Amino acid sequence: MTLHATFPDTALDPAPLLSVAGVSRFYGERIGCKDVSFDLWPGEVLGVVGESGSGKSTLLRCLAGIDRPDAGEVLFRGLDTPLDIYSVPEQERRKLMRTAWGIVHQNPRDGLRMDVSAGGNVGERLMDRGDRHYGQIRERALDWLSRVEISGTRIDDRPRQFSGGMQQRLQIARVLVSEPRLVFMDEPTGGLDVSVQAKLLDLLRVLVRDLGLAAIIVTHDLAVARLLTDRLMVMKDGHVIEQGLTDQVLDDPHHAYTQLLTSAVLSV
């Protein structure tokens, strides 16, 4: 089986990119997430919102191949043949995570190699998918550094020489350079100053749109959800209690809990 992504015209693609059915994860007696099902279409950006402890990160970890759910199925159709990600050996799942999809962690240190140069961090993903030409790898790394607004003069610097915002942008370049079909983001702007957050959000919005990326974004920040996502899933106590188009859910929430969430924010 090849793990290289194919890139069909998303407008003509009739099948969901990811089909999630009955995913549940428990921590002993405690519910992490329970019976979550949805389809994600090519190019679609889905937000997962809810208060702290509602199960957002647990769900994301199950979907992204990091933690095996106790029940349910995650079917990825971005390859030549559909793949039930938990029925393949760990090694194949890991390869998938490094090639056809990407994960942007809240803390850039979890997604970067801190002892490797900025250029190496970006180039490594290209080597993972089989690129071998050093000159071309460096050129693409430079291109991606400039796309995330990091000067090419910093290509040999280590991430620890960068600010928090720059580290996050470097992590995004590392993830996107290999042209993933699907990206998972866990609070991508969390932990950053408000002005840095705004700049990063703008960058993410442009990249997601230009690349036609499908993405699942976990956030507790409804303004982030408003800006980046097409569709929203609201979680409470591990369950999805409401889902729909982002504007509809935020402007006309049906569930009392969603009404509470949206009314708690003055401007989203």
Q: Does 53 bind ligand ATP (CB under 6 A)?
A: yes
Q: Are strands 45-49 and 231-236 parallel, antiparallel or unpaired?
A: parallel
CB of 119 to ligand ATP, least distance (A): 32
Rank residues 112 and 218 by Cβ distance to ligand ATP and give the closer one.
Answer: 218
54 part of the interface to ligand ATP, by CB under 6 A: yes
Both tokens of residue 77?
């159709």
Of the pair 178, 219, the CB lying nearest ligand ATP is at: 219
Question: Can residue 57 be called a binding residue for ligand ATP (CB under 6 A)?
Answer: yes
> Which of residues 56 and 140 has its CB atom nearest to ligand ATP in the complex?
56
Do 232 and 246 contact (CB within 8 A), yes or no? Answer: yes
Cα of 214 vs its chain's centroid, Å: 9
DSSP for residue 161: G
Which position among 47, 50, 65, 159 is part of the footprint of ligand ATP (CB under 6 A)?
50
Interaction between residue 68 and ligand ATP (CB under 6 A)? no
Stretch that binds ligand ATP, among 49-57, 79-87, 135-143, 250-258 (CB under 6 A): 49-57
Per the CB < 8 A criterion, the answer to whether 12 and 42 are in contact is: no
Q: How many CA atoms lie within 13 A of 175 on its CB side?
A: 29
Rule CB under 6 A: which of 3-42 touch ligand ATP? 27, 30, 32
**E strands within the chain?**
18-27, 30-40, 45-49, 71-76, 83-84, 101-104, 182-186, 214-218, 231-236, 239-245
Residue 220 lies near ligand ATP (rule: CB under 6 A) = yes
Q: Is 55 in the site for ligand ATP (CB under 6 A)?
A: yes
User: Which amino acid is it at 31?
Assistant: I
Nearer to ligand ATP, 77 or 226 (CB): 226
Query: What gap in Å lies between CA 15 and CA 9, rounded to an integer?
Result: 12
Q: How far is the CB of 66 from ligand ATP (least distance, A)?
A: 12
CB 189 to ligand ATP: min, Å? 14
- Of 27, 36, 9, the closest CA to residue 216 belongs to 36
69 binds ligand ATP (CB under 6 A): no
Binding residues for ligand ATP (CB under 6 A): 27, 30, 32, 50, 52-58, 220
